[in-house]
Structure 1
Amino acid sequence: MFELRRLRLLRELALRGTLASVAEALSYSPSTVSQQLSLLEKEAGVTLFVPDGRRVRLTASGQSLAAHAERMLALNEEARAELESLQALAAPVRVAVMQTAAQSLLPTALTIVAEHEPQLRVEAAEVPPEEALFELAARGYDIVVAEQYPGHARQLGAQLVRQSLGDDPIRLALPPESAAQTLSDLHNVPWVLEPRGTAARRWSVQQCRAAGFEPDVRFEVADLTTQVRLIAAGRAVGLLPDLVWNDSARTVRLLDLPGNPTREIFTTQRSSSVARNSIRTVLQALQQAFTQRQQAVDTGATSTTHPWS
């Protein structure tokens, strides 16, 4: 009989490629991971992996067992979801949230959860979507809040399901004293954008190219509040979503972009966890938090409705 925890180690190895990365992800020592995988090989009676430079490579038997491990882990999660529905105390729900959602949606969502399910423990971490979606598939989180830019659909594994929260407008952010009126006016000024490889960076660069120029990216900053400060100080311009403003006073000048583009904010979970009542509770709270914020914007209750300069 296979031991489920060892099967998870094999699945993690198939995803991450090195014993060290598996150990780091699961808070084990590399020696413990190696020992447990060696025991799994003995249980299987076949060679599961072989050295490949600094990494390890799964054999055909290892790949086959890793695929079975994924299905067994999913069945385990489904069984736990059914048992959870029959008892009062649920397991913690682990949420990975991108920065703007952490600032604008998470506090309200947690308040809603506390009002309806005060015993439910929610654990949250601010994680970039690219990393969070990988960790969701690896069972590091139960829910991910991420974004999708126009024309840049995110690839999701077959084991993941998604639910749209709504659209978040994106606008051109300028220093207060800037006289620019269109995107094409900014071909010779410094830009601040998110790091290379992110969906936001790729989309922003494409907008500049469509306007006829390559942006002079002098600052690569993942923290959008830092981007705001650089722009407010007159050191750069950028493209920022409305969620970044939260309820704080605006310190930059905003211009609408042609076509009024928006990014989609969505939640994702594993298909094997859809029956968990606790996860449904958190998802509903996140949706309610997003809806409340949009309603506040529509009624003028947040600074995002201030006239553009």
Structure 2
Amino acid sequence: METRRLRFLVELARLGSMRAVADVLGTSTSTVSQQVAALAREVGAPLVEPDGRNVRLTAAGRRLAGHADGILAAVEAARLDLDPGAVPVGTVRVAGFETAIRRSVLPVAGVLAVDHPGVRLTVLELEPDEALGLLAVDGCDLVLAYDFDLAPASFGSSLRVVPVWSRRWGLGVPASSVVGAGAGAVEVFRVFAGDEWIVNSRNGIDERVVRTVASMAGFRPRVTHRADSLELMQDLIAAGLGVSLLPVDVRVRPGVRVVPLAGPEVVMRACAVTRAGREVWAPLAVVLGLLAGCGEPDDERAVVGDGYVGGVDADDLS
């Protein structure tokens, strides 16, 4: 049934006459009569009956008018909820990797509590690939994911992507290792061509970066160990079991140092991903705007657009 016709019935129940309804809704008495009659045909029951020179609602009409109040209220609530210009109110379901949750989502939650108390976040820590799968079945509203500039991943027009921040990575090596000052990434990799290599155990994107740079350096890396946390990777490096990509700003344990990489640099790019069209929902739009403001100067080297997104965990790999 048309919700517009329900409005006529609700006003008739409230005002008691078709003339009064016509005056309030800015239409004619005949239009009110026609709309109520059409509604009666839709529901298959008479909604009004004569009452002298006026009409009154039948029992079915009163019952439907009672339902109509709730129906119209729900429709209005939905309209306001989806109005991009409305005051943001609602729960945004976020799924993403640990570092982005700590670095971006928690600060955003603090801002929301002060500036947008009607917006609530729920947080689920997942690998980006898992989170994107959840997004595809509407199990969350927002995914925080990343890729590397040397190992980009792309998605179609069904996703919208907002760059959040970037982070430079280097090569984690034993502190006693000798690497020439100012050596480029290819030269650094050649120094460790004969070493064992450590990569992420839950995603393969960092291994793609390792193999890409190693290929430039003219060798195949011997990938022997896999771990899903930076702490364990550092423990393996300190134990002399291999070398691994690590963020240049990571807090290193004794026995480990991170050699910066350049020419090419290795840059991880974090992003926020939503389903196309959902980004205009007021609560989600607010969260996306705040996330986009979480970037740092480093982010200028990580410009991405629709179709960019990634897939590794960090801290777990950041």
TM > 0.5 fold call: yes
1:271 aligns with 2:276: yes
Q: Does 1:254 align with 2:258?
A: yes
What are the Cα deviations for residues 56-79 of structure 1, in whole angstroms up to 9, with x where unaligned? xxxxxxxxxxxxxxxxxxxxxxx9
Could you tell me which residue of structure 2 aligns to residue 186 of structure 1? Answer: 192
Higher relative contact order (CA 8 A, sep 6+): 2
Q: Which runs of 5+ in 1 are unaligned?
A: 2-78, 295-309
Say yes or no: does 1:175 pair with 2:174.
Answer: yes
Aligned to 1:83: 81
Cα-to-partner distance string for 1:91-133 (whole Å, 9 max, x where unaligned): 3111122233234333323222223223422111222222222
Question: What is the identity, as a one-letter code, of the residue corresponding to 2:295?
Answer: F
Q: 1:225 to 1:97 in 2, by over 3 A?
A: farther
Q: Which residue of structure 1 aligns with residue 134 of structure 2?
A: 135
* Number of residue equivalences: 215
* Unaligned stretches of 5+ residues in structure 2: 2-76, 181-187, 300-318
Inter-partner Cα distance in structure 1 for 2:216 and 2:145:
25
Distance 1:274 1:112, change over 3 A: same
Compared CA separation, residues 157 and 133, structure 1 to 2 (3 A) = farther
What is the aligned-residue identity percentage? Answer: 25
1:211–1:240 Cα change, 3 Å: same
Q: Does 2:229 match 1:230? A: no
Partners of 1:98 and 1:160 lie apart in 2 by 18
Q: 1:83 to 1:110 in 2, by over 3 A?
A: closer
Residues 180, 186 of structure 1: 8 Å contact kept = no
TM-score, normalised to structure 1's length?
0.60
Cross-structure match for 2:113: 114
Say whether residues 1:280 and 2:285 are aligned partners. Answer: yes
Greater helix fraction, Structure 1 or Structure 2 = 1
Per-residue CA shift, 1:208-252, capped at 9, x if unaligned?
222222222222122233323333444321112347x2xx46653
Conserved 8 A contact 1:137-1:157: no
Once the 2 structures are TM-superposed, how far is the Cα of residue 270 of structure 1 from its aligned partner?
1.0
Alignment match, 2:39: none
Match of 2:245 in 1: 239
- What root-mean-square deviation, in Å, do the aligned CA atoms of Structure 1 and Structure 2 show? 3.0
Could you tell me how far apart the structure 2 residues matched to 1:230 and 1:186 are? 15
| 1:81/1:273 contact within 8 Å kept | no
Contact 2:81–2:88 (8 Å) recurs in 1: no
Look up the SS of the partner of 2:280 in the other structure: coil
C-alpha deviation, 1:166, in angstroms:
3.4
Whose Rg is larger? 2
Partner of 2:294: 289
